[in-house]
Amino acid sequence: MSKLARVTLPQALNYRGGQPMAAWLLHRISGIGIVLFVGLHLFGGFFLYAIEGGPTSAAANWLTDIYVSKPVQIFVLFAMLWHGLNGLRIIVLDMWPALHRFHREAMWVQWALFLPSFLLPALLIATSAKI
């Protein structure tokens, strides 16, 4: 068996990691979301072109209907923005470890960049007639 620590669910919920832990969790969720979206998109496109008019293109259309729906588009926007901004924060803190003194401020800068750049386009997508 592996050397990983065993953590029960109540222990995990009690752990107060604060904002950096929330950022790490959202980084993981958004990463999995991007892999799913890009993967579906890539293999959907492949099936669409591989056998034209065949059963695979029906599957491709079905996949396309899912990922062009508004909730999925808004989630993709969230995932791309969060993963990108949080990744930049991680890169900056990794390259200049002295900046770890300001890791709380870095989170606040990240929120200040993320919230307007997510909420405004999300509102536009939610209220637009077509995407």
Partner 1 sequence: MATQTVLVSQARADGQPAARFRPGFELYMWFFTRVSGVLFLLLAAFSLVYANLMGGQGGAMHAGAQIRWAFFPISFHVSNAAVELTPNFANPFWQFYSFLIIAIAATHGANGLRMILTDYIRHPLLLSWVKALLFGVWLLALMAAIYLIWPAQG
Q: Rule CB under 8 A: which residues touch partner 1?
A: 1-5, 24, 28, 31-32, 34-35, 38-39, 42-43, 45-46, 49-50, 73, 84, 87-88, 90-91, 93-94, 97-98, 100-101, 121, 124-125, 128, 130-131
Grouping H, G, I as helix, E, B as strand and the rest as coil, residue 109 is helix
Instruction: Identify each DSSP E strand in the chain by its residue range.
Output: none
* Contact by Cβ (8 Å): 50, 56: yes
Q: Which of 81, 71, 73 shows the shortest CA–CA distance to 115?
A: 81
Segment holding 48, helix H or strand E: helix 18-50
Closest approach, Cβ 49 to partner 1, in A, equals: 4
Closest approach, Cβ 98 to partner 1, in A, equals: 4
Closest approach, Cβ 122 to partner 1, in A, equals: 11
- Looking at the Cβ atoms of 2 and 8, the one nearer to partner 1 is 2
